[in-house]
Amino acid sequence: MNREMDRRALLKAAGFAAAGALGLPRTVRGAQTFGLPPTVSGVRAQSQRRLTKPNVSPERLIRTTVGLRPYRTGGFLVQGAKFDATTVIHNYGHGSLGFTLSWGTAQLAVEAAMQTGARRCAVLGCGAVGLATARLLQHRGCEVTIYARELPPDTTSNKALAMWGPIFPVDQRLVDVARFAHRYFQDLVGDYYGVRWVERYSNPGLRGDRFQYIDLQEVDRDLHPFPIETSVLRWMGLLIEPPIYLNALTRDFQVAGGRIVVRDFPDLRSVLALPETVIVNCSCLGARSLFSDENMYPGKGQLLVFLPQPEVDYELEFMDLASRKDGLVLGGGGGGNRDDWTLEPDEEAGRQSMARAIGLFSAMR
């Protein structure tokens, strides 16, 4: 598979220099603000298939999961730092976009690592970002060891909804990183990685560049089944199933000769004691204590997981609903307090999310 995609744009966006680029299809721009982009106006669905109603009744609830999304004031960080003979390349702060941006920021971090000339590298963290970084380092011929406190299925990434993006185009750097990741995930579509194209429904406001919305159509109010007094947008999005995807990447990493060491690092000194002279830091919220990044803060996310309902073969972005093999997954609130580091479920927020979903789904035509 061709993994090299427009390095120049990515490296320029992150402030690193590189020679050469292997090209990427020309960008087709959509609207930069909310609202239908010009390319969508007039493209309306002529018919609408009947959608199965999701069943999120309380008796079908099988678990509630809580994760702390690693938000960072100012956005994600990809940046190198020298500590005597050791180079640390930071790659963290993705917030709720860990899967969406993972391969793109990993590519930036790997390019920075290659500039050191080292071919023996460490990666801190075994979630979506850490595994993507480790695999791209392997693709470049590096000997890689992952050091992590938690491994799948216990990482924060395992508790993500993992509907790919889309991203709001804050700046070109973010767009370029997202574009790289979007293209990379397309090469992973299939049962092995648990990545697939899924029909997705959104409110009429779009958030990003046109490349993120494949087969985009506007569905008129009288054609879609949702109790919403506006048209909706129907498009094809990428869904990643974390239990399948993270296990597959872990296997790939180990088959390629990678080593995983379970270790908790109490301080920066313990990190710098590692034998590798190049360390890619994908420790997410751990960067707050290890590297004194006070810009890091948690965004508590809660998911309600119901018995699988495979006949629900679509996603609802406006309800944070995804149908996966491990269950029908519904966003369950739990956020709003950036100082909340607990992993206790917010039962009241879960009940409110379930009630809203039951009300909407029962009113579907």
Structure tokens at 186: 């397309």
pLDDT attached to residue 13: 39
Location of structure tokens 């960008």: 27
pLDDT attached to residue 45: 61
Q: Cβ of 18: how many Cβ atoms within 10 Å?
A: 14
pLDDT attached to residue 115: 96
Contact between 113 and 136 (Cβ < 8 Å): no
Low-confidence ranges of the chain (pLDDT < 50): 1-39, 41-42
Q: What is the pLDDT of residues 104-119, one digit of tens each?
A: 999 999 999 999 999 9
pTM higher than the cut 0.75: yes
Put the strands of the sheet holding 327-331 in their side by side order: 61-72, 296-306, 327-331, 321-324, 314-316, 195-202, 232-240, 214-219
Q: What is the pLDDT of residues 276-297, one digit of tens each?
A: 999 999 999 999 999 999 999 9
Nearest to 161 by CA among 343, 317, 54: 317
Q: Where are the beta strands (DSSP E) in 263-357?
A: 278-281, 296-306, 314-316, 321-324, 327-331
Domains observed in the chain: 34-362 (3.40.50.720)
Structure tokens at 252: 């790939």
Residue 29, classed as helix, strand or coil, is: coil
Nearest to 209 by CA among 363, 65, 8, 26: 26
3-state secondary structure 51-89: CCCCCCCHHHEEEEEEEEEEEECCCCEEEEEEECCEEEE
Those residues with Cβ within 8 angstroms of residue 97's Cβ, 6 or more apart along the chain or in another chain: 76, 165, 167, 178
Contact between 329 and 304 (Cβ < 8 Å): yes
Structure tokens at 6: 């427009």
Burial environment of residue 79 by CB neighbours within 10 A (0 to 12, 13 to 18, 19 or more): middle
For residues 90-112, one letter each, b for 16 or more C-beta atoms within 10 angstroms of the residue's C-beta and e for the rest, the string is bbbbbbbbbbbbbbbbbbbbbbb
> What are the residues facing 199 on neighbouring strands?
236, 314
Question: In angstroms, rounded to a whole number, what is the distance separating the alpha carbons of residues 100 and 219?
Answer: 26
